[in-house]
Structure 1
Amino acid sequence: MRTPLAAMRLTAELIAKEPLSDTQRTRLEILVRAIDNLTGMTSSLVYAGASGGPPQAEPAGVHNLLEDTANLFRLAANANGLVLTTNFDPTLEGSVTLYPGHLTRTVATLLDNAIKYTGNGMVHLSACCRIRDPASSGGIVLEVTVTDTGPGLKEADIDSVFKPYVRGTAARHAAGGGAGLGLWGASELLKEVGGTMEVSSPEQGGCQFVISFPVTAGEAAHAAAFAEMPAKPTFDGPLNGHFLVVDDNGTNRRLLAALLESFGASLQEAGNGREALDAAANNSFDAILLDLHMPGMSGIDVARHLNETANGSRPAVIAVTAAHESADPETLRETGIDTVIAKPISPAALYGTLSEALCRARQARS
């Protein structure tokens, strides 16, 4: 999944470099946050599958997490004639240690349901931290509440709403309703990290879901997955270098080429390992950007061949991969790969890496 997500993120970065109206830029920021959130969820699933262990807590800014999640649903709320409002306690401006993927996926499920089943009125997302029983471990609970003005739940539905394949009365009568797994899945996610979810529905209608999520106070953090999208990366000047872009995926290859061209660089493209070796044998490159996972001759095979046949100096070899967690550092060093850039690619990080490669190439030639 991360390969198409990386292509989407890079396309958004390229669009961000063009003149945009305020409305277009706002919508693009929503798109980028959606991509980043989905990338974060995907990464957490990949990590969990690879490690086989429990999920890992990490520091994050709760206010930004929740606001970004709410922003993903504002257009859907507006399209349904609803008002989506938020209210977060000022103490959430700082950072806490928690399970950000579990939190955002659970809140997203609740907001999606609320918007889907509320015919008119509003959906409200609020959050605060409270101190629980000092005897409990951790001591601090993040409490997130999603309230809507929809039809509400019947008492019989409340008793079974967190069971799999169970849909409330409103859901059963709604067009395009789900399979009844959303709330069950969200509650299971919370149980995995010691959280809980409760629901209430007053007689006059509407629903209120309350999530209790254990957190630990932490230092200020700036998690990259939830950072503000820069309008443009900061560059010191054009990259006056010549590069080879190697990727069997044509879309990813063209997107990376477009990004390099926006840096002022010149380049050639190769669609497989054999083409890459032919290009390297007949041209002089300052660096080679190499996808590791290609059919036939892999990126590792290409790098090893380049390293073994190098006559004196050789161009820097930069691995570009979505599966950076599985890349063994020792293997990379042995094959002559100088550095790894993870997908989705950060334009600023790529610019910095290529700038360093250019400096080394010029020093080697002098």
Structure 2
Amino acid sequence: MTDVVANLEHRILLRTATSKDALMASAVLKRAQFDSHTCSDMDELKRELDRGAGAIMLAEEAIADASIAQLTEILSAQPAWSDVPLLVLARRGADSLAIAHVMDEFANVTVIERPMRVAALVSTVRSALRARRRQYEIRSLLDGLREADQRKTEFLATLAHELRNPLAPLSTALSLLERKKPAAAEAQKYYKLMGRQVEHMVRLVNDLMEVSRITRGKIELQWSSVLLDAVINDAIELSRPLVEGAGHTLSVELPEQALVVKGDSVRLTQVFSNLLNNAAKYTPPGGSVRVLARQEGRDAVVEVIDNGVGLAPEMLESIFEMFVQVSGTSKAAQGGLGIGLTLVKSMVELHGGSIEAMSEGLGRGARFTVRLPLMRNGAAKSAREPVARGGDEASTIEGTVLVVDDNRDAADSLAELLQSLGAHPLVAYSGEEALRLSAQHTINAAVLDIGMPGMDGCDLARHLRALPGGGKLNLIALTGWGQRGDQERIGAAGFDHHLLKPLDVAELMSLL
């Protein structure tokens, strides 16, 4: 909102009996540092109220039956948030019919009897303007809610679109496998296609979960000394397929002196990978992407620059907000929810840094500048430790594994996978059925879904632990619930491990 509009919205609109009264009232208000505007008639009052006003001050003499009808029409046309204060300067003595009519007709009315003390008038006007400011706050809140609702609507539409994209080739590949029944060698291309699409859906869901954790303050950073050029190189490797796939030229300029920051190397890699992915997506094929790093004072500064579609001036601030989509660029950037920059900003701020977007306009590229505080002393530790795996997909599993899930397709496909890996699987579609099987067979491990109707996975885990030999049973929760509260509930139920859907086969292998 500009200063001009703000001034209009805090002025007093005057409708007095005579021009002399108007001059006197304006002078009094001016000495008290209030802005005012004198209206010659009700038509002008309406026009000026539409432009903005903090309160209306009317002399009793200016109120006639026709004027009240006009005033009623004027005030009834206000938006829902608005109830402009009405100050009526009444003549001394008994209440007139006009005053009584005004008080009956309007709710937000203050009657001031003349002659009045200047202090009383000033106090009344201040109270009216204070109430009016509260109305403006409500207006801003409603505008924000409407804008957020619109953003969420657009975001959900984008989410539906992005989830349908990988589902289409998945469905097609399944139909081809079913109809053609290809040989193993030919089927491999369909399996790889399906794997890529599943990975894409996993990334979408993970982005949603990341935003949820950040906005609720549930994310935890693994702090250490981090060598920034190692983080940047890791991010480049993650983003290289997207950059090279679009035929972009990637240039990197790192300082000779190492830049060491305190932070979480995995999260910082995520920050710069997201920025590089963003640059690649929003740059037409054959463009250029540059990464520059340097020291400025006590900060490390990293810039990701592209010559792509650019940003409109009004988007430079809002682009980091949740649910904001850059208009007109959806075709240029396939395969995302538009929440990557929200994640980036949140991650950078968690590290005590800041991020700024700059662009000379649409079609003129963009520059994202990240600033992170440098560590004063200390050498950087390894940027990323490899995740230890107890096995791989070529290994075999021995023993009997109970698989329990009310989703029959999920249970049957996991059992078939375990069988292909050498295990002897048993399948149950409910907690009660699982207990019957466990009474009939010796079970070495159990993979349990949590969100089952009736007896859920946590209740089932407690029952299995209570059985003879249940203390040695390897209990694994496989679920879509991954928040800290869920993890604590699952641990309290007696599970040894907690895996998130979709299944990471190598991780399951290492646990079994």
TM-score, L = length of structure 2? 0.47
Aligned to 2:210: 44
Aligned to 1:160: 314
Aligned to 1:363: none
Q: Is the 8 A contact 1:196 1:212 kept in 2?
A: yes
The counterpart of 1:62, out of the listed 232, 241, 247, is 232
SS state at 2:495 partner: coil
Alpha-carbon shift at residue 266 of structure 1 (Å): 1.8
State the distance in 1 between where 2:330 and 2:475 align: 53
Amino acid aligned to 1:349: E
State the distance in 1 between where 2:458 and 2:340 align: 44
Structure 2: which 5+ runs fail to align? 1-158, 171-183, 320-325
State the distance in 1 between where 2:339 and 2:487 align: 37
Aligned to 1:197: 356
State the distance in 2 between where 1:329 and 1:258 align: 30
Say whether 1:221 aligns with 2:386: no
After superposition, where does 1:48-127 map in structure 2 within 5 Å?
48-49=214-215, 52=217, 56=221, 61-72=231-242, 75=245, 77=246, 83-89=247-253, 97-98=263-264, 99-100=267-268, 101-114=270-283, 118=284, 121-124=286-289, 126-127=290-291
Alpha-carbon shift at residue 263 of structure 1 (Å): 1.7
Summarize the Cα distance change of 1:20–1:88 in structure 2 as closer, same or farther, 3 Å threshold: farther
Amino acid aligned to 2:314: S
Q: Which has the higher contact order (CA 8 A, sep 6+)?
A: 1
State the distance in 1 between where 2:496 and 2:368 align: 49
State the distance in 1 between where 2:469 and 2:330 align: 67
State the distance in 1 between where 2:373 and 2:189 align: 36
Q: Is the 8 A contact 1:161 1:184 kept in 2?
A: no
Aligned to 1:360: none
Greater Rg by CA: 2
| Identity across matched positions, percent | 21
Q: Which sits farther off after the overlay, 92-101 or 296-305?
A: 92-101
The counterpart of 1:140, out of the listed 290, 295, 300, is 300
After superposition, where does 1:264-303 map in structure 2 within 5 Å?
264-303=422-461
State the distance in 1 between where 2:282 and 2:209 align: 25
Say whether 1:332 aligns with 2:496: no
State the distance in 2 between where 1:263 and 1:123 align: 46
State the distance in 1 between where 2:209 and 2:297 align: 34
Summarize the Cα distance change of 1:320–1:95 in structure 2 as closer, same or farther, 3 Å threshold: farther
Cα deviation, 1:244-274, whole Å, max 9, x if unaligned, reads 1112233433443243123211212122222
The counterpart of 1:233, out of the listed 392, 404, 411, is 392
State the distance in 1 between where 2:254 and 2:195 align: 24
State the distance in 2 between where 1:350 and 1:342 align: 10
Q: Is the 8 A contact 1:109 1:186 kept in 2?
A: no
Summarize the Cα distance change of 1:269–1:111 in structure 2 as closer, same or farther, 3 Å threshold: same
State the distance in 2 between where 1:321 and 1:94 align: 40
Alpha-carbon shift at residue 289 of structure 1 (Å): 1.0
Amino acid aligned to 1:47: R
Q: Is the 8 A contact 2:316 2:357 kept in 1?
A: no
Amino acid aligned to 2:433: E
SS state at 1:162 partner: helix
Q: Which sits farther off after the overlay, 245-254 or 283-292?
A: 245-254
Alpha-carbon shift at residue 110 of structure 1 (Å): 3.8
Summarize the Cα distance change of 1:162–1:294 in structure 2 as closer, same or farther, 3 Å threshold: same
Cα deviation, 1:86-133, whole Å, max 9, x if unaligned, reads 23346799996354444444443443332xxx3x64242x32432121
State the distance in 2 between where 1:30 and 1:95 align: 35
Summarize the Cα distance change of 1:327–1:66 in structure 2 as closer, same or farther, 3 Å threshold: same
Alpha-carbon shift at residue 302 of structure 1 (Å): 0.6
Q: Is the 8 A contact 2:404 2:429 kept in 1?
A: yes
